[in-house]
Amino acid sequence: MIIKTKHSMQKMSQRGIHKNLLDIVLIHGIVRNDKIILNKKRCDRFIKKLDKQIKKIKRLGNTLHISRLNDYRSTLLKIRDKGGVTLVVMGDILITSYNTNIKVKRRRRAKRRK
């Protein structure tokens, strides 16, 4: 169970990150320091695995299970379209969340004149 702060809920709604996206990132994301990251590459791997499972289950004819897997797949596709999702967590508290494809621009240092 993760506790959401007021700030994190506000940022999640601004950035279009819903509860089901949050749950998938918590399950499949990679932990790096205080961040949980689910990037595009990792999403592609899980989508590939899901496609194989869906093919096998279609042969068996279990339509209920197929619909659940398709919902899960569509959620993974949403994360992939965002370029990935990153959660900043401290213990059990969600601090903030953002789309991974945001690149931080680094300023170039001015050259020293002699």
Q: Render pLDDT for 62-99 as a digit per residue (tens, 0 to 9).
A: 888 888 999 999 999 999 999 999 999 999 999 999 99
Question: Residue 104 above 70 pLDDT?
Answer: no
Is residue 89 within 8 Å of 36, Cβ to Cβ? yes
pLDDT for residue 14 is more than 70: yes
This prediction's pTM? 0.79
pLDDT at 107 over 70: no
> How far from chain centre, in Å, is Cα 31?
12
Three-state SS at 94: strand
CA distance 98 to 35: 11
Q: Return all residues near 90 (Cβ < 8 A) that are at least 6 apart.
A: 34
Domains of the chain, by residue range, sit at 3-99
- If you average pLDDT over residues 14-36, what whole number do you get? 94
Q: Count the alpha carbons within 13 Å of 16 in the hemisphere toward its beta carbon.
A: 9
Cα 41 from Cα 19, distance rounded (Å): 21
pLDDT at residue number 34: 93
Residues 6+ apart with CB under 8 A from 18: 12
Structure-token pair, residue 30: 């990679």
Q: How confident is the model at residue 1 (pLDDT cuts 50, 70, 90)?
A: confident
